[in-house]
Amino acid sequence: MAKTKLNPFTVAQQQLDQCAKILRLDPGVQAILRVPSRELHVSIPVRMDDGSIKVFQGFRVQYNDAKGPCKGGIRFHADETIDTVRALAAWMTWKCSLLDLPLGGGKGGVICNPKEMSQGELERLSRAYIDQVARIIGPEKDVPAPDVYTNPQIMAWMMDEYSKISGQNQFGTITGKPLALGGSLGRGDATARGGLYTVREAAKELGIDLSQATIAVQGYGNAGYYAACLAQSLFGCKVVAVGDSKGCVLSETGLDPQAVAKHKTKTSTVCDFPGAKAISNEEILELDVDILFPAALESVITEENAPRIKAKIVAELANGPTTPEADVILHKNGVHVIPDFLCNAGGVTVSYFEMVQNFYMYYWETEEVHKRLDRKMTEAYHGVLNTSKRYNINMRQAAYVVAVERVVEAMKLRGWA
């Protein structure tokens, strides 16, 4: 674990600076890209169940909209900070660009502990957040979605609130909605599924037989859970370890991801899953597996533990799990990193499909979503791989090169730079 928690925005800026050097970016252009274009800080009063009023702090950061309306999730987290939201908004900008979506990057966050809030309190908080940010969101401006500890129900409340404010249904303003309210088929598991398509391509490149591969999944939320299920069902991988914030479990003979999820629903953690051995949150990252999926929060692979990472592929389903110092070590040790804004881009890609379907009022079959997602992810993966070979740089640097070049082109064409 990191001794001192790194500031994720410093990490995002360092990564961009590296890319600017590789691309020999004009310093003025680099200066524009180092900071968010706009941010809104809001105080959100919410009536709690005991009758008291609590004022939560929230943010919406619109990082760059050169390529289209900002896009990105909203996180509900006790440790949320403005710098985390800034970093995540920057990464959304690169993510949408890398996947060649006609979108910019944004992110929202509220400092709260959703685990300690009732459904009623969560609903009032979600609606009050939208009341505060309504003036800067909308299908042509900025389109929020789920992220850590927000889900389709929360998106439904948010969409409803925005619709009430605008006096008409506004399905295209929020994505990750339930199916009954203009959600897209295939959005639920899209982040993990997209990540697995990139893992499939990486395995081909590295000559790894996925049907014999072992995996460890750190984080058992939406992305981690579906990654475990799909790795097993699509490719026949063996899931040897999974973990959440409370601890991790290991079974050399393999875990049943669905049974673990049921256990987590009952007990609120994967810990004490029958028949599995308990391991720590540090140990799971260092297991001798073929593929490691960091699928929780930022800065978990650092210069301290990177030398002990044994996985052949690190597939970053989380945003920002690896620090720049750790990147250097992993690259030197031959670990193939599928960087976050490539690996986890399936979520926003299907969010974009959801927007398209909302605008057309015509909805696709699941197979159509999967086919289009596969095409997008595979193309993006090979674009990054080829760039990394051409410039002799690591996969993250290559992803930056592709993404930043496109944003810069859009800025130049608009006359911003």
Residue selected from 71, 264, 370, 396 as contacting ligand GLU according to rule CB under 6 A = 71
> What is the per-residue burial (b if ≥16 Cβ within 10 Å, else e) of 180-213?
ebbbbbbbbbbbbbbbbbbbbbbbeeeebebeeb
Is position 107 annotated as part of the catalytic site?
yes
Tell me how far, at minimum, the Cβ of 150 lies from ligand GLU, in Å.
8
Rounded to whole angstroms, the Cα distance separating 62 from 96 reads 13
**Judged by CB under 6 A, does residue 348 bind ligand GLU?**
yes
Site stretch for ligand GLU (CB under 6 A), options 71-79, 178-186, 260-268, 329-337: 71-79
Residues whose CB falls within 8 Å of the CB of residue 173, separated by 6 or more in sequence, listed in order = 137, 138, 139, 143, 144, 159, 162, 163
Residue selected from 222, 322, 344, 394 as contacting ligand GLU according to rule CB under 6 A = 344
**Judged by CB under 6 A, does residue 73 bind ligand GLU?**
yes
CB closest to ligand GLU, residue no: 73
Pick the closest to residue 83 from 320, 258, 380, 304 (CA basis): 320
**Judged by CB under 6 A, does residue 175 bind ligand GLU?**
yes
**Judged by CB under 6 A, does residue 403 bind ligand GLU?**
no
Is 84 within 8 Å of 61 (Cβ atoms)? Answer: no
Q: Which is nearer to ligand GLU, 70 or 306 (CB)?
A: 70
Tell me how far, at minimum, the Cβ of 158 lies from ligand GLU, in Å.
13
For the packed helices 366-391 and 346-360, what is the interaxial angle rounded to 10 degrees?
130
Q: Which is nearer to ligand GLU, 72 or 294 (CB)?
A: 72
Residues whose CB falls within 8 Å of the CB of residue 19, separated by 6 or more in sequence, listed in order = 25, 397, 400, 401, 404
Contacts with ligand GLU in 311-340 (CB under 6 A)? 319
Pick the closest to residue 351 from 59, 72, 5 (CA basis): 72
Site stretch for ligand GLU (CB under 6 A), options 35-43, 124-132, 159-167, 344-352: 344-352
Q: Using CB under 6 A as the criterion, what x/- string covers residues 19-58 for binding ligand GLU?
A: ----------------------------------------
Site stretch for ligand GLU (CB under 6 A), options 48-56, 279-287, 290-298, 342-350: 342-350
Residue selected from 132, 214, 322, 351 as contacting ligand GLU according to rule CB under 6 A = 351
**Judged by CB under 6 A, does residue 347 bind ligand GLU?**
yes
Tell me how far, at minimum, the Cβ of 189 lies from ligand GLU, in Å.
13
Tell me how far, at minimum, the Cβ of 92 lies from ligand GLU, in Å.
6
- Strands ordered across the beta sheet of 247-250: 277-279, 247-250, 238-244, 214-218, 291-294, 313-315, 336-338
- Select which of 71, 107, 238, 264 is catalytic: 107
Q: Which is nearer to ligand GLU, 151 or 281 (CB)?
A: 151
Tell me how far, at minimum, the Cβ of 71 lies from ligand GLU, in Å.
5
**Judged by CB under 6 A, does residue 376 bind ligand GLU?**
no
Alpha carbon 57 to chain centroid, angstroms: 22
Amino acid found at 152: P
Tell me how far, at minimum, the Cβ of 38 lies from ligand GLU, in Å.
17
Q: Which is nearer to ligand GLU, 19 or 348 (CB)?
A: 348
Site stretch for ligand GLU (CB under 6 A), options 246-254, 264-272, 346-354, 379-387: 346-354
Rounded to whole angstroms, the Cα distance separating 45 from 125 reads 8
Q: Using CB under 6 A as the criterion, what x/- string covers residues 124-153 for binding ligand GLU?
A: ---------------------x-x------
**Judged by CB under 6 A, does residue 64 bind ligand GLU?**
no
Q: Which positions touch ligand GLU (CB under 6 A)?
A: 71-73, 95, 145, 147, 175-176, 319, 344, 347-348, 351
Residues labelled catalytic: 107
